[in-house]
Chain A
Amino acid sequence: MKSLDPRVSRLPETGNSSPKVPLDQFGTFEVFVQPKEGKPFQHEGIVHAPNLEMAYVLAKEAFTRRFTCISIFVTETRNVYVSALTDGDEDAYDHVTKVASTSGKETFEIFHLLKRGKQHQHVGKVEAGSHNEALWVASQQLRGNKQVFNIWAIKTSGIRFTKQEDLDLWNTLGEKKFRDAAAYKGGDKLKSFLEKTAQQ
């Protein structure tokens, strides 16, 4: 293809292959980011990937190339158990009912939505035998003074966390100034240009 873009001019010709298989897009994974020490992990969005490890690798640059980050984790969307979404002064925990405790406890990570329109934040973990029980235990252990509009419970075993040895992945984030508006201060150049043209 002849183009102004030398990269496009180099593209190979490809025919139209036979009708594609519909919906060949792979799984959906939710991405959580911890912006700095002492701040909770917050939901940031999704990536599509074939498995948890690929999701982690792809999420890292999709969500943490620009703003401060010290750690991320990802989990498959199917692993997120979602409570009712409430509004007004109704608390999502008001809809959580007691569930008989079962054996075979697992750890769940609990997330709260404190304001409609904002993002879910990690508040802690609970031990429970099911997602439903996790919400009940969370209502006993993690419910604070603030109204909660929505609760997520995620099985910890289904999460790809950042490993200890990978904590330096974000070490140079603050030094990549070329991605910062602050690196493009044209003020002085503009000023001297204006002074020069004013004299002419």
Chain B
Amino acid sequence: MYGGGNTFEGIKSDELTGEDPVKLAEFEARIERGEKIEPSDWMPKLYRKQLIRMIEQHAHSEIIGALPEGTWITRAPGFKRKMALMAKVQDEVGHGQLLYSAAETLGKSREAMIDDLINGKSKYSNIFNYPTFTWADCCFISWLVDAGAIVNQLANAKGSYGPYCRALDRICAEESFHLKYGHHCVIYLASGTQKQRDMFQEALNRWWPPMMHFFGPSDKISVHTEILMKWKVKMGTNDDMRNQFLDMYVPKIWELGFTIPDPNLKKNTETGRWDYTEPDWEEFKRVINGDGPCNSERLEVRRIAEERGRWVREALRTAKTEYVTPLA
């Protein structure tokens, strides 16, 4: 589950100097034709660097994203929910596995990525730094955070890097179950008792601001990514993604009789886009820089998991095999 928020560093003006202009032109022509770039193809250093950064963040978001829903894995009500949630959280871990593998084809090992996650060097989706107080929070994530992720992932699956696109094709196919399951859970809360309805309304109130943050800062204030759009690393602007999500899901939330906690939220009939209260981007920055309600817990859980698993990995290490970069 990944929203693409704040993925890219500012690009320094000299980062493209030194690239062979003939190779660069061939590379760009290939992307222009709609062909995929494969690991053995020539690519600019900047392309490699930004792709590693993006895919790695996406992978971390899956692994960390398993935690807020995992909070309810032992408490899901009834067999149907229990088995679905087990399978869904498992899928998030599986998506992490696929995405780390895709990033590895660019030359960074999974271990190095996980180290950077734990030591705080690399980021993950901001939304997973918020707590899941009740079962309804868990349902919000299953439905709407996954929905947001799918908007982003479907776009990215049309990107230029072969291994990433293939991982995303697989992930999107798996996510269709997540989305349906999440919606199913919320329909049951909506049509259930007053207590159940209240639970979801409260979850919606809590999660709406981070959901709006999920797609990243407004285009007006985000770093310039033209070159990444041209190279089909970034496939849509943050505002476009956010708008697409609102188009698809606001009516479904309203249909269930819930109130979205933004009095200014409405479709602008002139622009065809959604008007909304500008999200608090200062809070977004604060949380992404470590000061959210769950940042320290999320990383501490990962650190403990790595620490507890260390003896297992050390026992499995053998001289007979060695780490190599995956082929595709």
A and B touch in the complex (CB under 8 A): yes
Taking a contact as CB atoms under 8 Å apart, the answer to whether B132 and A117 are in contact is no
Interface-located stretch among B53-61, B221-229, B315-323: B315-323
**A-side interface residues, number (CB < 8 Å):** 64
Q: B320's closest neighbor in chain A, by CB?
A: A51
Q: A13's closest neighbor in chain B, by CB?
A: B304
Q: A87-B35, A181-B179 are in contact. Are A7 and B324 (CB under 8 A)?
A: no
Taking a contact as CB atoms under 8 Å apart, the answer to whether A117 and B324 are in contact is no
Q: A26-B316, A193-B190 are in contact. Are A14 and B325 (CB under 8 A)?
A: no
Q: Is A80 an interface residue (CB 8 A)?
A: yes
Taking a contact as CB atoms under 8 Å apart, the answer to whether B187 and A189 are in contact is yes
Inter-chain CA distance A142–B98, complex, in Å, is: 31
How many CB-defined contacts (below 8 Å) exist between A and B?
A: 174
Choice from B112, B191, B314, B321 contacting A76 with Cβ under 8 Å: B321
Taking a contact as CB atoms under 8 Å apart, the answer to whether A30 and B317 are in contact is no
Taking a contact as CB atoms under 8 Å apart, the answer to whether B308 and A54 are in contact is no
Q: Is A94 an interface residue (CB 8 A)?
A: no
User: What does the 1/0 interface line of A108-134 toward B look like (CB < 8 Å)?
Assistant: 000000001111100000000000000
Taking a contact as CB atoms under 8 Å apart, the answer to whether A24 and B317 are in contact is yes
Q: B90's closest neighbor in chain A, by CB?
A: A65
Taking a contact as CB atoms under 8 Å apart, the answer to whether A6 and B317 are in contact is no
Q: Is B101 an interface residue (CB 8 A)?
A: yes
B171 to chain A, nearest CB (A): 11
Interface-located stretch among B66-74, B269-277, B284-292: B66-74
Taking a contact as CB atoms under 8 Å apart, the answer to whether A4 and B133 are in contact is yes
Taking a contact as CB atoms under 8 Å apart, the answer to whether B67 and A5 are in contact is yes
Inter-chain CA distance A25–B113, complex, in Å, is: 11
Q: Is B84 an interface residue (CB 8 A)?
A: yes
Interface-located stretch among A42-50, A96-104, A159-167: A42-50
Taking a contact as CB atoms under 8 Å apart, the answer to whether B326 and A178 are in contact is no
Which residues of B lie under 8 Å from residue A46 when comparing CB positions? 101, 104, 326-327
B184 to chain A, nearest CB (A): 4
Interface-located stretch among B36-44, B121-129, B209-217, B259-267: B36-44
A159 to chain B, nearest CB (A): 15
**B-side interface residues, number (CB < 8 Å):** 72
A75 to chain B, nearest CB (A): 11
Taking a contact as CB atoms under 8 Å apart, the answer to whether A51 and B176 are in contact is no
Q: A3-B297, A178-B87, A194-B255 are in contact. Are A184 and B101 (CB under 8 A)?
A: no
Q: B162's closest neighbor in chain A, by CB?
A: A117
Inter-chain CA distance A197–B73, complex, in Å, is: 32
A147 to chain B, nearest CB (A): 14
Q: A24-B317, A186-B187 are in contact. Are A5 and B71 (CB under 8 A)?
A: yes
Choice from A28, A65, A180, A189 contacting B325 with Cβ under 8 Å: A28
Taking a contact as CB atoms under 8 Å apart, the answer to whether A117 and B187 are in contact is no
User: What does the 1/0 interface line of B73-111 toward A look like (CB < 8 Å)?
Assistant: 111000010011001001100100110010010000111
Q: Is B30 an interface residue (CB 8 A)?
A: yes
Taking a contact as CB atoms under 8 Å apart, the answer to whether A27 and B322 are in contact is yes
Taking a contact as CB atoms under 8 Å apart, the answer to whether A4 and B71 are in contact is yes
Inter-chain CA distance A50–B94, complex, in Å, is: 19
Residues of A3-20 contacting chain B, CB below 8 A: 3-8, 11-12, 14-17, 20
Choice from B70, B109, B112, B174 contacting A66 with Cβ under 8 Å: B174
Residues of A26-62 contacting chain B, CB below 8 A: 26-28, 30, 43, 45-51, 54, 62
Taking a contact as CB atoms under 8 Å apart, the answer to whether A119 and B166 are in contact is yes
Taking a contact as CB atoms under 8 Å apart, the answer to whether B321 and A184 are in contact is no
Which residues of A lie under 8 Å from residue B204 when comparing CB positions? none
B173 to chain A, nearest CB (A): 7
Q: Is A77 an interface residue (CB 8 A)?
A: yes
Which residues of A lie under 8 Å from residue B203 when comparing CB positions? none
Taking a contact as CB atoms under 8 Å apart, the answer to whether B323 and A25 are in contact is yes
Residue among A1, A120, A179, A189 facing the most chain B CB atoms (10 A cut-off): A179
Inter-chain CA distance A190–B143, complex, in Å, is: 15
Taking a contact as CB atoms under 8 Å apart, the answer to whether B324 and A28 are in contact is yes
Which residues of B lie under 8 Å from residue A28 when comparing CB positions? 323-326
Q: Is A192 an interface residue (CB 8 A)?
A: yes
Choice from A50, A117, A120 contacting B321 with Cβ under 8 Å: A50
List the 7 closest A-B pairs by CB distance, nearest first.
A27-B321, A117-B36, A193-B191, A5-B71, A184-B184, A184-B180, A186-B187
Q: What are 24 A-B interface contacts by the 8 Å CB criterion? A: A6-B75, A11-B301, A24-B313, A24-B314, A26-B316, A27-B322, A28-B326, A45-B166, A46-B326, A48-B323, A49-B316, A50-B321, A51-B320, A51-B321, A54-B316, A78-B324, A178-B83, A178-B87, A179-B177, A183-B180, A184-B177, A186-B188, A193-B187, A197-B257
